[in-house]
Each structure stands twice: as structure tokens, then as C-alpha cells.
Structure 1
Amino acid sequence: MAGEIPDLHAQERTGTGKGAARAVRRAHMVPGIVFGGDVDPLPIQIPYNVLIKRLKDGRFKSTLFNLKVDGHEDVRVICRDVQRDVVKDLPTHLDLMRLRRTTKINLFIPVEFIGEEEAPGIKRGGVLTVVRNEIELIVTAGDIPEKITVDLSGLDIGDTVTISQVTLPTDAKPTIDRDFVICNLSAPSALKSAEDEDEDEESAEVPTVGEEEAAEEGES
């Protein structure tokens, strides 16, 4: 099962309609609605500053929240829309959808890298480049993984880890069909420079076709 699901605190909103929504905004709150789950829609309001912070944190629409509203049971929700002011681009309304445990959703799951100390390539001074520190997966709401683990212990310089090499939780699959890269291990810059110098020396020692012909004429 997943790690800790973040709480999202909201208040029940008593009034509905445009007039009530404007009053909510004047009180520095953002009106919203919680729908789905075979339950009547629940009008809510969230402090403006709280919502702005969540939006700035990123991934708001792909994060599962534990919605807490006084007088109501906690429920898992995911954001389906955030309406914004066309001029100021500030949030004016949000829609949250209740989720059943069997509901399929897209979520970004963090990647944990282990075994770095045992990796032969890292012992030789290789540089680990992380291409993706999180992966978007299709998962069920009742079985969300806390993280995806990537074992680096067998990695050598020049090796690459792709999604097909990673063990994913049961019933979870990536949203991207292709075999994308998660990380790779490249040679240290000093080693690269030495290899480049060797290549330059080798190329300098090999005569061109014209040089070979000139050498042969000189000998004759």
C-alpha cells in the first residue's frame, strides 16, 4: 500500500450560485465542489493561500489527497479541474472527484535509487545521471505505491536503466508506452578527456590516402 497520503483541509460551503461564490472569494477563500462516489455533491471552500501553495508545489492535479471537511467522513479525492481568472490567472474554483478503492488514476510516483555504493561503475568514478526522479503510473486508488525502487548495484560505466528493467507494483503500468530511460551511468570527465586524447593521437598517427601516396612517390 501507499505511503502517507497528504491531507487537504476544506470547509463546507453553505451558499451556492454566483453571488455566494463571489462572497467566498471576498473572504479570501476559493469555492469548490466534491462530486462522484454515488454521493451527493458537496460544496466546499478552501483558503486561498492554502490552494496557492498546493498549486505552486506542483502535480496538484495528479496527487491523491485525503480530504478533511468538518462534519463529514474523510474521503480520498483527486483534482479534476482548477478554473482561473482569465486576466490574473488566479484560481477561482476547483472540482474534486471522490475515488473508490478500485478507481484507476494517473499519479506521479517518486523513484528511489539503491545500491550506489556497490555499483562497479560508481566505484570507478562513474557519474550517475537521473533522467526521471518520478514516474507517472496508472494505479488503483486502493493500492498506490509509495515509491519505485531502482537497484544500481550492478551498474557499470555506459549502462542505462529503462522502465522495462524496473519491477513495478502489481496492476500498475506507465502512462508512456515506449521503453524510456530512468537513469544512466557515464564516464567521469577526466576519463572522457583521456579517451578523447587517445583517439586524437591515433587519428594523427594514421596517414591519409594522399600522405600515403606522397610517401610512396618519395621512396621511389
Structure 2
Amino acid sequence: MSEIIEIKATARPRAGKGAARQARREGNVPAVIYGDGQPAEIIAINGNDLWKQFIKGQFTSTVFDINVGNDKTIRVIPRDIQLDPVKDHPIHVDFLRIAKDGVIRVAVPVRFVNHAASPGLKRGGVLNIVRHDVEIYCPYDRIPSAFEINLEGLEIGRSIHISAVTMPDGVRPVIANRDFTVATIAGAKKDDEAATAAAGAEGAAAPAGDAKAAAPAAKGGAAPAKGAAPAAGAKAAPAAKPAAKK
């Protein structure tokens, strides 16, 4: 079961940019709780408490019990977080109420193991990750920390589909109408075959090239032998002029 973190908050009297800036000046982070068909709750959370939870990682897949004013506890999961562009600290958070059925939509990271046991990667292939996260529906207390995919035995050209991922009971992918691709083993297999074929073709063309080189370079061919009759179609040389009489 996923750990549920308790965190304290105070109700904010009003919404708007001015009220949000005031909350930040007091060291708090403005936040909103919405969903489950109920009115939105406008709250403020201590900045240090929120930062400690944020730096743990997987903040948007962590379930929280928010105590508002010590008289109300709301079970939520973070849906959106805005960060300061300079300090990289949270400056606003949107929380989604968890419904009575407890089923939520969340993105779970994908991890790949046994890279060294993949023949395709050993031959110079590349792991092409199509989806770094997979969105799923699951009970809030069964959120997987990650989906692990074993690369052992995978060759170049192999694809890993969502059907190869083992999911716990009650967990199902959001995309349910197709077996989508999570990753592939890409490589230069086709390029190597094309290079081999080109080398073979070049070797076969070599004798023709040698014969051509052996042919005489002159366009007219070999010179005729001395005294031989001129070739057909060739013009006769002009006769010598007779010597002048004295």
C-alpha cells in the first residue's frame, strides 16, 4: 500500500493574485482542492513542509491527507504544480479530491533493466523509449512506484508493447483500445545489409571496368598498316601535281 502523507493547511479567505502574493510573503504556498463534484477549497500550505515533500520525488503520484484548520481532512493527489522560474520552488499547487471509489488517474514511470543481456544493444542497437510514463487507472492505495521492463534477449527491431507490462490487480492503462508501443530496440541492421549488397555489386562490376580500361584510348582505333588500302568511306588523298614544263 502506498504511504499516505499528512500535511497541514489553512483556509484562505479569498482567491486572486493579490491573496496569493500575500500568502507567499507569509512563507506559504497557495493551493486549490477541486473535484468529486464538490466546491473548490482555497488553501495555503507551509512552504517548508511542501518543499520537503516535493524534493522526495514522485510528488504528483503521492497521496496526501490535508488537514484544513484541524477540523477537516481531505484525501487528495497533486494534479498540477507551478514552480518559480528562478528558485525552482513550488509557488502554486492544484490538488484533486479522491472520489469515494478511490480510483484515480495517474502517470507511472517506466524503468528498463538488464541492458547488458540484450543482444540487440550489444550489437550497437539503441533503446528508443517511446513512453517514459504510462497513464493508468488504479486505486489510490495501489499506485505502482514504476513499471519494470526486462530487456533480456531482445534483438534489434523488437518492440515492447504495453501487453508485455505486468500490472497489479485493479490497475489498467488509460489507453485500452490498442496495444501501444512503450519502447523499441532500434539499430543499423538494414544499413549493414545495404552496405554488404553494395560491396557485392561493386565486386561484380570490377571485371567490366578492367576490360574497359584495356581498350585502346584512341577514338579511331589502331592506325592502318603502311600501304594498306584505305578503309571504306575514307576520302582518298589528293594526287600530286605534275611538274611544270620548261
2:158 corresponds to which letter in structure 1? D
Q: For the residues of structure 2 that align with 1:195 and 1:203, how far apart are their CA atoms?
A: 12
Q: For the residues of structure 2 that align with 1:92 and 1:29, how far apart are their CA atoms?
A: 9
2:181 maps to 181
1:183 corresponds to which letter in structure 2? A
2:160 maps to 161
2:115 maps to 116
1:144 corresponds to which letter in structure 2? I
The verdict on how the C-alpha distance between 1:170 and 1:205 changes in structure 2, with shifts beyond 3 A counting, is farther
Q: For the residues of structure 2 that align with 1:82 and 1:109, how far apart are their CA atoms?
A: 17
Unaligned runs of at least 5 residues, structure 1: 84-90, 208-220
Q: For the residues of structure 1 that align with 2:79 and 2:121, how far apart are their CA atoms?
A: 43
The verdict on how the C-alpha distance between 1:146 and 1:95 changes in structure 2, with shifts beyond 3 A counting, is closer
Within the alignment, does 1:63 sit opposite 2:64 as a pair?
Answer: no
1:140 maps to 139
Q: For the residues of structure 2 that align with 1:96 and 1:115, how far apart are their CA atoms?
A: 37
Deviation of 1:115 after TM superposition, in Å, equals 2.8
2:14 maps to 17
Contact 1:129 1:183 in 2 (8 A): yes
Q: For the residues of structure 1 that align with 2:130 and 2:102, how far apart are their CA atoms?
A: 29
Superposed CA offset, 1:145-172 (max 9, x none): 1211212113112111111222222221
Q: For the residues of structure 2 that align with 1:146 and 1:18, how far apart are their CA atoms?
A: 34
State the Cα RMSD in Å: 4.5
Superposed CA offset, 1:35-81 (max 9, x none): 678999765203579889x99xx997x53432454746875412467
Contact 1:64 1:76 in 2 (8 A): no
Superposed CA offset, 1:158-188 (max 9, x none): 111111222222221211232221111123x
TM-score, scaled to structure 1: 0.63
1:195 corresponds to which letter in structure 2? E
Unaligned runs of at least 5 residues, structure 2: 83-89, 206-246
TM-score, scaled to structure 2: 0.57
Contact 2:65 2:76 in 1 (8 A): yes
The structure with the largest alpha-carbon Rg is 2
2:152 corresponds to which letter in structure 1? S
The verdict on how the C-alpha distance between 1:11 and 1:172 changes in structure 2, with shifts beyond 3 A counting, is same
Contact 2:66 2:76 in 1 (8 A): no
Q: For the residues of structure 1 that align with 2:94 and 2:123, how far apart are their CA atoms?
A: 52
| Alignment coverage as a number of residue pairs | 198
Superposed CA offset, 1:76-103 (max 9, x none): 41246789xxxxxxx9975533325732
Bigger RCO of structures 1 and 2 (CA < 8 A, at least 6 apart):
1
